[in-house]
Amino acid sequence: MVTNVVTGKTKICGLIGDPIEHTVSPAMHNAAFKALGLDFLYLPFQVKSADLGKAVGGLRALNITGVNVTIPHKVAVIPLLDALDPLAERIGAVNTIVNKEGQLTGSNTDAEGFIKALQEHGVAPKDKNTIVLGAGGAARAAAYALAGQGARLTILNRRLELDWARTLARKLEKDFPQKVRVLELDEKNLEKALGEAELLVNATSVGMSPNREATPVPARLLRGGLTVFDIVYNPIKTRLLAEAEAAGARTIGGVEMLVWQGALAFEKWTGQKAPLDLMRREAVKALEGYED
Ligand code: NAP
């Protein structure tokens, strides 16, 4: 329950997406606003694809301070905005909008949040052989962030959508000096790529609740010396993370990226430094509530 007191001066932020029933962002942001004594409120708005244009017009009309954008609107929202920051433009996806006097600017804090989470765990991607699984929205953000830091990338995607991965690789090679390898996501290619890799990033939705028994990588291929970053955050400890830990690999969970992307959005809306530890505690508490 939101306990922040709402007044006529309260600034409204929120989330637009569909579905949004399981979002933990309101818990994270409202706790952070309250802790810092900010007169802000964060609300979830379920927006169907057919209504996206009207919803974005509504952000201006209702003087909403800013929103996060989630599935399925991260790409479709772009032509409806007034400006994009350079990273969001390159990635071709927006997860945060700031409204300055009716001017809507889109940015991508998923990419920056991903890198912050890596750095916080002492992982520097420069010149590291890095595998990215997937070529969807989150994979694009992670791959751009990694290439920007000088990682050597191999992208594995399932055969049906291998062209997505090829398109992403071509874009990355245009923007960065490194070559990007693309392979079909199967056990043989995984084994080959993992033999040379130091960092493995799961940016597919494999293992996400309710399919918790699923994993994108067979346990026998995991080993010590590898860092495994699973950006899936529900459940908090995915099967991939549990098996990587058991194999002696270093692990980073999706909650870290979730908290950082939220913190960076919070800072854009409020101009204040986000209370990261509090936001992490609130996100974990909300996720644990969903796991019951
Ligand atoms: P998306 O655009 O729908 O992409 C999903 C990706 O998963 C695609 O590459 C898809 O491959 C792949 N995939 C799905 N099922 C698969 C399967 N059975 N085998 C192999 N690949 C499969 O979704 P998204 O926005 O990128 O989100 C992906 C995951 O990241 C979700 O779990 C989401 O919650 C999480 N996420 C986390 C954060 C965070 O802050 N931690 C932020 C954003 C997203 P195809 O291309 O072949 O369909």
Mark whether 24 and 158 lie in a shared domain. no
| 205 within 8 A of 232, measured Cβ to Cβ | yes
Mutate to test the pocket of ligand 1, among 75, 205, 240 (most ligand atoms within 8 A of CB): 205
Residue found by looking up tokens 């007169």 in the block: 39
User: Would 65 be classed as within a structural domain?
Assistant: yes
Domain count, the chain: 2
**Residue 277 domain-assigned (yes or no):** no
Same domain, 138 and 218: yes
Candidates 9, 34, 48, 74; catalytic one: 74
The pLDDT value given to residue 292:
55
DSSP 18: S
Which residues are CB-neighbours of 241 under 8 A, at least 6 positions away? 228, 230, 251, 253
> Residue 207: inside a domain, yes or no?
yes
92-131, pLDDT tens digit by residue? 999 999 999 999 999 999 999 999 999 999 999 999 999 9
Residue 171 lies in a domain: yes
Residue range of the domain that includes 239: 111-255
Assess whether 20 and 152 both reside in one domain: no
- Residue 173 in any domain: the answer is yes
Report pLDDT for 229.
Answer: 98
What pLDDT is recorded for position 290?
Answer: 77
Q: Work out the burial of residue 58: count CB atoms within 10 Å of its CB; fewer than 13 is exposed, 13-18 middle, 19 or more buried.
A: middle
pTM over 0.75: yes
The residue out of 75, 91, 108 marking a domain boundary is 108
Residues of the chain with pLDDT under 70: 1-4, 291-292
Q: Do 130 and 233 share a structural domain?
A: yes
278 within some domain:
no
Ligand 1, atom 31, lies closest to the CA of 205
Q: Which of 108, 137, 161 is the last residue of a domain?
A: 108
How many Cα neighbours within 13 Å face the side chain of 227?
17
Work out the widest C-alpha separation in the chain, in whole angstroms. 60
**Position 272 in a domain:** no
For residues 167 and 214, membership in a common domain is answered with yes
Where do the DSSP E strands lie in 24-163? 40-46, 66-69, 83-84, 96-100, 103-107, 129-133, 152-157
Which of 75, 113, 90 has its CA nearest to residue 172?
Answer: 90
Residue with tokens 């006529």: 8
In tens, the pLDDT along 211-236 reads: 999 999 999 999 999 999 999 999 99
Kindly state whether residues 21 and 101 are assigned to the same domain: yes
Atom of ligand 1 nearest to the CA of 140: 26
